[in-house]
Amino acid sequence: MSNIGWKDVLTDDMPIDLAHEIDIFEGQMELMGQGKLDEKVFAETRLRRGVYGQRYDNGQRHDGFESRELEFDEADRIKGPDTLWHAPGMQRIKVPGGGLSPEQLDVLAQVADEYSDGILHITTRQDIQLHFVHIEDTPDMMRRLAAVGITTREACGNSVRNVTCCHLSGVCRTEVFDATPYSDAFAQFLLGHDDVQDFGRKFKPAFSGCESEACGLVMMHDIGYLAQIKEVDGKPKRGFKVFVGGGLGTVPHQAKVLSEFTSEEEMLPLVQAVARVFARLGEKRNRNRARIKFLVAKLGIDEFRRLVEEERETLPHDDRWTAYLDTLPQYEEKPAKPPTFLNGQVRSTAFNQWFETNVYSQRQEGYSVVTVNLPLGDLTSKQTWELADVARKYVGDNVRATVEQNIVLRWVSDSDLPGLYEELKAIGLGDSGAGTIVDITACPGTDTCKLGIASSRGLAGELRTRLTAKSASLPDAIKDLKIKISGCFNSCGQHHVSDIGFFGNSRRSGNFKMPHFQVVLGGRWRDNAGSYGLAVGAVPSKTVPEVVDIITNRYIDERAKGETFQDWIGRIGKKEARGMIQPFMKLPAFEQEPDYFSDWGDPRVFSLGDIGIGECAGEVVSLFSMEISPAESEAFEAQIALDENDPARADALAYSSMLKAARALVRTQFLDVGDSPDRIVQEFKGRFFDTELFFDQYAKGKFGQYLLDRHQNPNPNPDNDSAHRLIEEALLFIEATHACESKVGGNVLVEI
Amino acid sequence: MITPHRLSVKFYFEELSVDAEAFIPVFHRWIREDVVPNELLLDVADYKHILDGPAILLVGHEADYVIDFTDGKPGLLYVRKQDLGADLSNALDTTLFQALKGVKLTESDVELQGKLKLRTDGATFVLLDRLNYPNAGSNGDSADPAASAEAHLSDSLAALFGSDATVTRVDNDAREPLTFELLAPSAPDVDTLLSQLGKVN
C-alpha cells in the first residue's frame, strides 16, 4: 500500500480548521475501534459529521420468509447502539442553499463512484446523500470534499441542519430581495457555534425571498426567514419576518411569527438567542417532544418571544453579528454569458414541452433558470461530471439543488436554451415536466432508511412512469398538481404540503401484513408551505396509482372554474374525500391478491421486521461527553505524532487536548467560556482548581497542575522525552476531568 | 503494484431479452439462498428510472453486481470494494474470478436461463482509485501508474484470454477513473476461464 494518502495530497487545499476536525474524527474512529469511546458518544459524533446509519445496519434482514443475520466480519464491533461497524451507511453532505459549483460537482461525482454506489441523491432539504458507504472511507471522502469547500459537519445529529434557501433567490420575479447572502452568513455563523451544540433534537432553518410562492417553505421549518423591507427614518431597511416552531414530522405544526421585522443587523443575534432558549428549555429526554415546535407550543409564542428577547439582552457581543454586512455590497452572481433572446429560433415539439415546464424566465431580461428534472432526485457519477461541464459552458458557478430534488442552472442566456436542452438530453437529463405531477418527491423510504415502512421510492417510480406515459393528455388542472411521498409518518417526503400526499404504513389482512399508504389531500405548497393536507384514509400500496386516477378524475369533473385542488378538497370535505378511496380500503386475503402483500420494486413478502431505531433518537449523551471526546482523540493523535518522531506536534496536540478537556468541564457550568486558552485556563482554575473540585483524594491537585504548568511555561523546543511526558500528563488530566465531571455532575444533556 | 481502492469489470450482454426489472426478484433470491460463496450479499437497489445508468444493483459487502446500461451498453458489472488482496495482481485475479462466477450464475439462473448471454471476448476494467491510479495523461515514465497498470493488465489478461487479447487504455475524461478495454478475439468460455483462475485462487 502507498504511504501517501488523501490527507497528504490535499493538505494545502483544505481549510486548516476543517482538516483538523476531520483528523479528530478519524482519531475518534480509531478510539472507537479500540473500544475506548462510549458507543453513544461515538454515534452522536459521527452523526454530527453526516455519517448516518442505513437499513440493515443492525445485521438483520428479512428475506420475505424470515429475519436472517447478515454475517459481517467482526460482528461485535459497533459504531453506535445496535449498529455494526462494517455495515454500510449513508453519508449526508451539506449544501447550504443548494449552491454548487462545477468543481464541486466533479468531486462529488468522484467520491460517489469511489465510496458509494455511484449515485448522488438530492434530498428535500438541498443536501446530497450517498448510500452504501463504508465508515472507514468517510475521512478521506470528507477531505476530498473539504478541498472544494464542502463540509459534512452537522449534516445529521442534534444540530443546525442544512440552511435551505429558495433556489430562485436573486433571480425571482416576485422576491423582495435576494436572501442568498443572508442565508450563507447564517449558515457560516451557526456552523459549529457553541450555542448550537446542546439541542435535544435537530434544528432546520430556511430562507425565503417572497411570501406567496413556495419559495423556502418557511412555514414548515424550525426557524424561517421571509425577506421584508421596512421604512425606517424615511429610508428602506432590509430585514426579515421571522417564523419559529414550524415542522412536519408525525405532528405537523405551522410556524408562528416570532418577529414581524428583524433587521439584518439583528438576524444573527436573534437566532443565537433562540438557540440558547431552545438548548436551555427544550425537551432532552423524550425525543418525540424535543423539536422546538413543542417548546413553542408549550410556552406559547408570546412567552417564547419574551424569553428570546430577554436572552438577547444578555448575549455577549460578537463582531460577527454585523461583519457579514460589509460583504453584502460585493455579493453578486456572475453570468457566464451576456443576455440574449430566443426569438426566431426553430424549436422542436420536445423542446417546447421542456421549455414550458423546465424554464423560468428570470427577473433579469435575457436570462432563464433551467430545471434539470432528476427522477427520484438521482443522478449518476457520470451524469454529474457531464452536468458539471454543461454548467461550465452555459452558467459557470450558478448551480443549485432544490427542495424538490432537482438541480437548477441559473443565468442561462436565453438563446442558449435549445443547445442546452440538447446537451441535457444527450446525458439523460432532458426530462420535461419539472414541477408538475410527474415530478414526484420521495424520501428514501424502505430502500435505505431504517425507519421506512413502505417503499416511497418504489411508488414514486411507478407513478412517474404511468403519469409520464399519459402526460400529454392530462388536463392542465392536473398537470400542475404536486405529489409527495414519505415512507413513514416522519414526513421526510413532505407529504403534508402537497396536493396529493402519501405516507407509508401497514395493515394486517389475515396472518399477513400489507404495505399501505395513508392518503393526505389538499396541502398547500405555495405560500411557503401555507397549509397542511387532510389525512383521509390508508389504501394498499398497490392500489395507489388507481387511487390517484380516481381523485384526479373527480377533481376534473367537479371543480368549479378556477377552483384549486385545495379549495375543492375543502369544499367536498373529509367525508366525501374519504368516500373516494373507501372502495380501496377493503383488504383482500393473501390468496386472492398475493401481489398486494409485497411492495413496489420489492418482491419479498412484506414485513415490518427490518425497521430499526432511527439514529436521531433514543439515547441521552451529556454535552460534556460530546465535548471531551475530541480531547481524547487529540491525545491519541499526539501519541501518533510522537511515534512519527514529531515532538513539537505531539507537544502541541497534548496541550490542546488538555485545553479541550478543561473547556468541556468548564462548559458544564459556564457555556460562554469561548475558545481563548487564557480564558479557558482562568475559568478552569477559578471554578475547579482553586475550589479543589478537581482534586483527587490522593493526588490532590497534581493532575490539574499539569495544565496550569504547560499553559504558563510552554516548552519552546520540545524533544521526544518532554513530549512523551506531556502526553502522559494529558492522559492523566483527561482522566481526572472525567472523574471531576462524574463527581460534580454535568448538568447539560443532549439526546441522539 | 498497489492494490486499488476498488476494481470493477464489466462483461457485456450478447443477448438480453428480459427487462432490467426481471433481475430484482432474482437478486433477492440470491441473497436469500446465499448463492455467492465468500461474499456477503446485502440488498437490491432499483435505479432503473435512470437513463443509461446502473439499473439494478445487488449490493454486497465485498462487491456489488450491477445490471448496468451505462453508455447504452448493457452488461453485468462487478465492482470489488473490499478484500481485494495485497496488490493489483491479487485484486485483478479476485475481481475477475468473482465476476466470472457472477456471469455463470446469471446465465444459469433458473429464471433467466435462455434469456440472456454474456460475452467473454471483451470486457471493461476500471481502477476506482484516483489517488494511486490517477487518470492523467501518460508522461512516458515507466513509473507512471497508468502505464504500469496497462502493462500489468495486458500481461495478466493475455495469459488468461489468449495471446491475441489486447488491453487498451480508454481515452476518457481525466475526472473519470482509469479505464481499460479488453478485446479477446479467441476468448475461452467461462468455465475454462474460471478453471484457469481457480488455479491462481
Q: Give B-chain residues touching A131 at CB under 8 angstroms.
A: 45
- Tell me which residue of A501, A502, A489, A499 sits closest to A526, measured CA to CA: A499
Q: Which of A391, A426, A461 is the last residue of a domain?
A: A426
Crossing angle (nearest 10°) for helices A720-744 and A702-712: 130
Q: In the Cβ-directed half-sphere of A640, how many Cα atoms lie within 13 Å?
A: 13
Whether the pLDDT of residue A1 is over 50: the answer is no
Q: Does the distance separating the beta carbons of B2 and A114 come in below 8 Å? A: no
pLDDT digits (tens, 9 = 90+) for A485-506: 999 988 999 999 999 999 999 8
How many pairs of residues across A and B have Cβ atoms under 8 Å apart? 103
SS3 at position B74:
coil
Choose the mutation target among A3, A58, A74, A132 for the interface with B, i.e. most B CBs under 10 Å: A132
For A254, counting Cβ atoms within 10 Å of its Cβ (0-12 exposed, 13-18 middle, 19+ buried), the class is: middle
The ipTM is: 0.96
Whether the pLDDT of residue A746 is over 70: the answer is no
A83-86 LR contacts (CB < 8 Å, sep 24+): A83/A43, A83/A53, A83/A57, A83/A58, A83/A615, A84/A57, A84/A58, A84/A59, A85/A33, A85/A135, A86/A134, A86/B61
Mean pLDDT of chain A: 93
CA distance A232 to chain B (A): 53
- Given pLDDT bands bounded at 50, 70 and 90, which one contains residue A633? confident
Residues B77 and B89: their CA atoms lie apart, in Å, by: 19
Average pLDDT, stretch A430-442?
96
What pLDDT does residue B200 have? 53
Burial A318-353 (b: 16+ CB within 10 A, else e): eeebeebbeeeeeeebebbbeeeebeeeeeeeebee
What's the CATH architecture for B6-200? Answer: 2-Layer Sandwich (3.30)
Return the CATH number at A242.
3.30.413.10
A317 DSSP assignment: P
Average pLDDT, stretch A316-321?
97
Is A614 domain-assigned? no
A465 DSSP assignment: H
Specify the higher pLDDT residue, A722 or A312.
A312
Q: Does the distance separating the beta carbons of A1 and B53 come in below 8 Å? A: no
Could you tell me if A269 and A281 are in contact, meaning their C-beta atoms sit under 8 angstroms apart? Answer: no
Is A431 domain-assigned? no
Residues A454 and A55: their CA atoms lie apart, in Å, by: 13
pLDDT digits (tens, 9 = 90+) for A53-100: 999 999 999 999 999 999 999 999 999 999 999 999 999 999 999 999
What pLDDT does residue B7 have? 98
For B189, counting Cβ atoms within 10 Å of its Cβ (0-12 exposed, 13-18 middle, 19+ buried), the class is: exposed
What pLDDT does residue A511 have? 85
Average pLDDT, stretch A427-432?
97
Q: Give A-chain residues touching B57 at CB under 8 angstroms.
A: 117
* Distance from the Cα of residue B156 to its chain's centroid: 15
Task: Please check whether residues A414 and A447 belong to one and the same domain.
Answer: no
Q: Does the distance separating the beta carbons of B54 and A380 come in below 8 Å? A: yes
What pLDDT does residue A749 have? 40
- Given pLDDT bands bounded at 50, 70 and 90, which one contains residue A745? low
Whether the pLDDT of residue A752 is over 50: the answer is no
Task: Please check whether residues A731 and A679 belong to one and the same domain.
Answer: yes
Choose the mutation target among A119, A145, A405 for the interface with B, i.e. most B CBs under 10 Å: A119
Mean pLDDT for back-to-back runs of 10 residues, chain B (201 residues): 96 96 97 95 96 96 97 97 96 97 96 94 97 83 86 95 95 94 92 84 51
| DSSP secondary structure of A542-597 | GGHHHHHHHHHHHHHHHPPTT--HHHHHHHHHHHHHHHHHGGGGSPPPTTT-GGGG
Return the CATH number at A673.
1.20.120.330
For chain B, domain boundaries = 6-200
- Tell me which residue of A563, A578, A566, A575 sits closest to A522, measured CA to CA: A566
Task: Please check whether residues A419 and A452 belong to one and the same domain.
Answer: no
Q: Give B-chain residues touching A118 at CB under 8 angstroms.
A: 54
- Given pLDDT bands bounded at 50, 70 and 90, which one contains residue A617? very low
Phi, psi dihedrals of residue A724, rounded to the nearest 5° = -60, -45
Residues B1 and A502: their CA atoms lie apart, in Å, by: 53
Task: Please check whether residues A468 and A592 belong to one and the same domain.
Answer: yes
Residues A315 and A568: their CA atoms lie apart, in Å, by: 49
What pLDDT does residue B138 have? 66
Compare CB distances from A378 to B50, B59, B61 and report the shortest one's residue.
B50
Return the CATH number at A367.
3.30.70.3340
Compare CB distances from B130 to A5, A110, A601 and report the shortest one's residue.
A110
Average pLDDT, stretch A547-564?
95
pLDDT digits (tens, 9 = 90+) for A354-408: 999 999 999 999 999 999 999 999 999 999 999 999 999 999 999 999 999 999 9
A440 DSSP assignment: -
Is A513 domain-assigned? yes
What pLDDT does residue A747 have? 44
Residues A104 and A284: their CA atoms lie apart, in Å, by: 37
Whether the pLDDT of residue A598 is over 90: the answer is yes
CA distance A181 to chain B (A): 31
Average pLDDT, stretch A142-163?
96
Question: Could you tell me the CA-to-CA distances from B81 to A197, A649, B65 in Å, in that order?
Answer: 35, 35, 11
Share of chain A above pLDDT 70, in %: 98
Domain that holds residue A189: 171-330
Residue of A nearest to B131 (CA): A6
Is A161 domain-assigned? no
Compare CB distances from B5 to A114, A379, A601 and report the shortest one's residue.
A114
Specify the higher pLDDT residue, A212 or A359.
A359
Share of chain A above pLDDT 90, in %: 80
- Tell me which residue of B102, B101, B152, B107 sits closest to B125, measured CA to CA: B152
pLDDT digits (tens, 9 = 90+) for A268-290: 999 999 999 999 999 988 888 89
C-alpha cell at A292: 422546538
Please count the residues of chain A: 752
What pLDDT does residue A750 have? 39
A60 touches chain B (CB under 8 A): no
Domain count, chain A: 5
Task: Please check whether residues A660 and A712 belong to one and the same domain.
Answer: yes
Whether the pLDDT of residue A243 is over 50: the answer is yes
| DSSP secondary structure of A612-654 | ---TTSS-EEEHHHHHHHHHHHHHHHHHHHHHTT-HHHHHHHH
pLDDT digits (tens, 9 = 90+) for A653-683: 999 999 999 999 999 888 889 999 999 999 9
* Distance from the Cα of residue A223 to its chain's centroid: 14
